[in-house]
Amino acid sequence: MHSYDYALILAFFVLVLLPAPWLGRFYYKVMEGQRTWMTPVLGPVENVCYRIAGVDPNSEQSWVKYMLALLAFNLAGFVILFAILLFQQYLPLNPQHLPGQEWTL
């Protein structure tokens, strides 16, 4: 390895480790529900998102609800990605005009 490679590795570690204490404090405050410098900006946006989704931000989620939400999210993602593969030939941004996959893949 050359000195440039060592400098690049050092720069990477500095860029990752330097903001770690500040980001750690920020994440701690966010997870504990304390006020941060982003609260005045993102607080109203967060409340609107909660209202649209019908979520109570102060209620706990049981493991069963979490599992069902996770399964629903994964199922929705599977259906959307499967549809993209099936109907690829009709979608825009297909400059090579690739055909859609068969449903059996």
- Give the span between the Cα atoms of 71 and 78, in whole angstroms: 10
* pLDDT score of 104: 85
pLDDT tens figures, 31-77: 998 999 999 999 999 999 999 999 898 889 899 999 999 999 999 99
Global pTM value: 0.59
